[in-house]
Chain A
């Protein structure tokens, strides 16, 4: 179990590094998918199979497909890739990477010094997730669903076409 976890975690980190260094949008998204799959495996190895499955279905399977869809629609091509490559100059990435290095160091220190790494390894199945969501976290679920409903209505309004087929919203 440990080997799976560390392997998946390493892949996730490497894939994420690849995501931010790719100049081609679709390649970056593909690495992001790999990263998400690796994180799903991490969840699974930590005893959360339900979260792992949802990670794959929702993030890797649906949201990322939509991302790819949008990038395909934009059809950025060679010019965008060249421009992206120019943006990858050291003076751009050196600042954020120092900050994230500090964060990584903190995380590593905490992992080594503390017993946070001990996750208990109790399997959290779908029933447990459901009970938690509709028990102690009911209010959060309802708030999130209200937010999503608002987003849905907003999206419908923006994309609504009149009788003439002209998009009404988004002036």
Chain B
């Protein structure tokens, strides 16, 4: 009984506390840079697509909302199309963790409501941004050993020249 009265009094005192509410549309809440919101596809510093169509994001996705098709051009791999169904997406961030090239990233943006559900299916042109996202200096092809036009084997950063298998020296 006494504890109930004490509870009543403490609750009453909350009348004079500051409200915790954020008046959302006028006053935006702070979202951390690593907030898991709308998914984007980023580009490397040279302006080329980072995605190499390895399908790891599609495999990692627990709700199977990512689908893509690989295509190849001059030794570089690209997604021919890349589709994320945001009406299924649960924003878990597993795709970002699975991505070996930092291509797929989650951003601090959640305002993506639509009146029609099929508008929530984002195509590659909706997903691809022109910037590098959270990793400004990373470029997969510059560190990978794969040969592409303008960069032969052994030319990548911190990569030794390829071993000449016909030579006798170790």
A and B touch in the complex (CB under 8 A): no
